[in-house]
Structure 1
Amino acid sequence: MTLFDGLTSRAIDTSRLAVTILERTGDDPATTPERTVVFVHGNVSSSLFWQETMRHLPAELRVIAVDLRGFGGTENVPVDATRGVRDFSDDLHATLTALEIPTAHLVGWSMGGGVVMQYALDHPVLSLTLQSPVSPYGFGGTRRDGSRLTDDDAGTGAGGANPDFVKRLTEHDTSDEAQTSPRSVFRGAYVSPGYRSEHEDVWVESMLTTSTATGNYPGDAVQSANWPGFAPGTTGVLNTMAPKYFDVSGIVDLDPKPPILWVHGVTDAIVSDTSFFDLNYLGQAGVVPDWPGEDVAPAQPMVSQTRDVLGLYAERGGDVRELALEGVGHSAHLERPVEFRAALLRVIGYLAQPSDPAPPTEAIILRSAD
């Protein structure tokens, strides 16, 4: 792995599997949970994506980034998708237990946002930072209220993965010769148009750690009588977020309620009300043929669903801050690192809340202790 200065990697033997974590050199293992921040990456990525964020956080904090199973250096043990993302969240709990960390501030990106929400349903946490998180109702196949469109969740899960993209992951393709190459997908979907990074090779390297072995990415699919003709199987990464297996909207009933920061880019191509990774939206746009219409297969309003659930969380006494960043895609921590870190430090209580709220397009306080 390509590690930035000041970061180290090591494997942790847990009760479930061997997990690789990144840490900063010099961080004190005796740091209190109140000053411990744990980062969880998203789909087709790894802990490497968190390196810039980790390096620039205050030295008084202990920061750890964890590789989920089948990503980075962690074992590529098959994923039981019928448990939703619980294989991932249980692995995370086993890792923190092995590190003797009883609780912490959790930061989850994309699928990792779903992992940390599931973790909060099962274990106490001090705060949640959700960056471009998967909707609380999963990825694809639901109406705004979270109700499922079909009994088999047609059009969601592993069947929607592009075979050539999977092939290029398997072959560790670093080129940009095709739209389906990991590098092209990073440029076209992970970040906003025109964004460039001197560390792009590292981000692509991180994507290429994704295991495409049986039971990992993307998973299995089954035939469906419903459009577009497939439904999620029972194993693999993409199936974990199928709505019949995944629903973390129960966070609204947490007691006590940890403070939540929701950060997302307004131009996100992946998690959006008009997501280019939602088969129903692609059908509506004419990209996937024979779309049966909005009454049967509407696009999933992912951002609206998250706002609804977090709004209810706030109504029931939770402290929620939404940071919506104009001109930013799926990776706010890369594209707007200063704002991302400042918001994170506020939600974990390291910085005081600002006396004057930012403009409405930048920060919307749904409910806050201040």
Structure 2
Amino acid sequence: MSTSPLLLSGITQHTLQSERLKTAYLTTGQGPLPVVLIHGNCSSSLFFQDFMLALAETGRYTIYAPDLRGYGASETLPVDATRGVRDFSDDIASFVRALDLPSFHLLGWSLGGNVAIQYAIDYPGTLRTLMLEATGSPYGFGGTKDVIGTPVWLDYAGSGGGTANGDFVQRLADGDRGSDPTSPRTTINTFYFKPPFRAAPDREEIFVSSILAMAVAPGNYPGDTLPSENWPGSAPGAQGVNNALSPKYLNQGELANVSEKPPVLWFHGADDQIVSDTSMFDIGFLGQLGFVPGWPGAQLYPPQPMKGQIRAVLESYKEHGGTYQEFIIPECGHSPHIEQQDEAVKLCTEFIDAH
């Protein structure tokens, strides 16, 4: 058990060796219902601490928040992007088996939402509920042009490791704790949250430390890249998390066809700038704004309709016998569990207790 200065009172950190990797995880609460939380890209379980403590106050849940491979204090192993996010979802499966958890409630935030969706597809019958917080699109990040995930180019140029901001990646590698425009600190306060929201200074330092703990390497973040004759000039490689999120390898439309369909809660901020139909991280939208030169125009390469894609897949899920609820949280960016913690706790606890 770790006593890291980054841990809040009431949170404990443990390390578990599964058949796949050594996983660090946070836990709190002693209730009968297990809840597993999966963090997003460029973060770790540390982003969940206050949310975990608030859930634990109900007395009904035991909460677990693992660090994904290459993030936080977990083992760094390369990500095989050709499997989409299955390396991550298989890791979660081995984690819950090692803990010998019964059927459980699963929440995924951002990238964690894609991991949670993949888990639901590959391990049917093990979930009580599936909660998606600001989840990524089931058709990945970048490179698609409509709600059914049609690729813009056959090589999926405009998605994958080559779309990461090179200066941000270098600042991660350098351990930058400053406040320059592309620093991790500024990225959190500009894009993870809706300005002018800002976490308390001690929490902000935890969040910055969390991001800086991730593995910056071609096999992890952001991933390798291939040259392309198509705009913007790069296509996804075969390793690393950003390539795992490329629609070349990630297509989760099959969620609608899973044999066992847990009820789904999808909640997201109205002002999310990361997962959005006008995402500040989507190459199509950045091209439209003039930030990436040579944009071929909206008819050929429109902004990716991320939220429209999520909604279309969940509607198909409903048509095939599943159920879902959607909640849009006003005055909120990409991190409802931090920016609007009380609302996020209320949504999740009421959803869990109803199922």
Matching residue of 1:332: 336
Distance, in Å, in 2 between the alignment partners of 1:122 and 1:102 is: 17
Matched, 1:126 2:128: yes
Question: Residue by residue, what CA displacement relative to the aligned partner does 1:215-261 show, whole Å, maximum 9, x if unpaired?
Answer: 11001000001001000000001000100100111111123210111
Distance, in Å, in 2 between the alignment partners of 1:304 and 1:326 is: 18
Matched, 1:37 2:35: yes
Matching residue of 1:186: 188
Distance, in Å, in 2 between the alignment partners of 1:214 and 1:302 is: 26
**Which one of 39, 48, 54 corresponds to residue 50 of structure 1?**
48
Question: Residue by residue, what CA displacement relative to the aligned partner does 1:331-369 show, whole Å, maximum 9, x if unpaired?
Answer: 000011111111111221x2x59xxxxxxxxxxxxxxxx
Gaps of at least 5 residues in structure 2 are none
Question: Residue by residue, what CA displacement relative to the aligned partner does 1:180-212 show, whole Å, maximum 9, x if unpaired?
Answer: 100000011000010011111111111111110
Cα drift, residue 307 of structure 1: 1.0
Q: TM-score, normalised by structure 2?
A: 0.94
Matching residue of 1:358: none
Q: State the AA in 2 paired with 1:144.
A: V
Distance, in Å, in 2 between the alignment partners of 1:312 and 1:336 is: 29
SS of corresponding position for 2:187? helix
Distance, in Å, in 2 between the alignment partners of 1:347 and 1:315 is: 21
Question: Residue by residue, what CA displacement relative to the aligned partner does 1:72-111 show, whole Å, maximum 9, x if unpaired?
Answer: 0001101100000000000111111110114311100000
**Which one of 11, 14, 21 corresponds to residue 10 of structure 1?**
14
Distance, in Å, in 2 between the alignment partners of 1:190 and 1:46 is: 13
Matched, 1:292 2:301: no
Q: TM-score, normalised by structure 1?
A: 0.91
Distance, in Å, in 1 between the alignment partners of 2:60 and 2:165 is: 43
Residues 67 and 74, structure 1, Cα contact 8 Å, conserved in 2: yes
Matched, 1:107 2:107: yes
Q: State the AA in 2 paired with 1:121.
A: I
Distance, in Å, in 2 between the alignment partners of 1:107 and 1:151 is: 33
Matched, 1:268 2:272: yes
Distance, in Å, in 2 between the alignment partners of 1:263 and 1:332 is: 8
**Which one of 321, 341, 344 corresponds to residue 345 of structure 2?**
341
Distance, in Å, in 2 between the alignment partners of 1:53 and 1:235 is: 32
Matching residue of 1:154: 157
Distance, in Å, in 2 between the alignment partners of 1:295 and 1:322 is: 30
Q: State the AA in 2 paired with 1:39.
A: L
Q: State the AA in 2 paired with 1:108.
A: G
Distance, in Å, in 2 between the alignment partners of 1:313 and 1:79 is: 28
Cα drift, residue 291 of structure 1: 0.5
Matching residue of 1:223: 227
Cα drift, residue 46 of structure 1: 0.2
Residues 40 and 65, structure 1, Cα contact 8 Å, conserved in 2: yes
Matching residue of 2:98: 98
**Which one of 135, 138, 154 corresponds to residue 136 of structure 1?**
138
Count of aligned pairs between the two proteins: 344
SS of corresponding position for 2:127? coil
Cα drift, residue 164 of structure 1: 1.2
Matching residue of 1:361: none
Q: State the AA in 1 paired with 2:288.
A: Q
Distance, in Å, in 1 between the alignment partners of 2:86 and 2:223 is: 16
Matched, 1:206 2:204: no
Matching residue of 1:356: none
Question: Residue by residue, what CA displacement relative to the aligned partner does 1:274-329 show, whole Å, maximum 9, x if unpaired?
Answer: 00100111111111111011222111000011111112212222221111011100
SS of corresponding position for 1:328? coil
Distance, in Å, in 2 between the alignment partners of 1:314 and 1:165 is: 39
Matched, 1:235 2:248: no
User: Once superposed, which parts of structure 1, at least 4 consecutive aligned residues long, lie more than 6 Å away?
Assistant: none
Matching residue of 1:23: 27
Q: State the AA in 2 paired with 1:186.
A: I
Residues 76 and 213, structure 1, Cα contact 8 Å, conserved in 2: no
SS of corresponding position for 1:347? helix
Cα drift, residue 49 of structure 1: 0.6
Residues 11 and 21, structure 1, Cα contact 8 Å, conserved in 2: yes
Gaps of at least 5 residues in structure 1 are 354-370
Distance, in Å, in 2 between the alignment partners of 1:229 and 1:61 is: 48
Distance, in Å, in 1 between the alignment partners of 2:128 and 2:142 is: 30
Distance, in Å, in 1 between the alignment partners of 2:98 and 2:178 is: 39
**Which one of 194, 198, 205 corresponds to residue 196 of structure 1?**
198
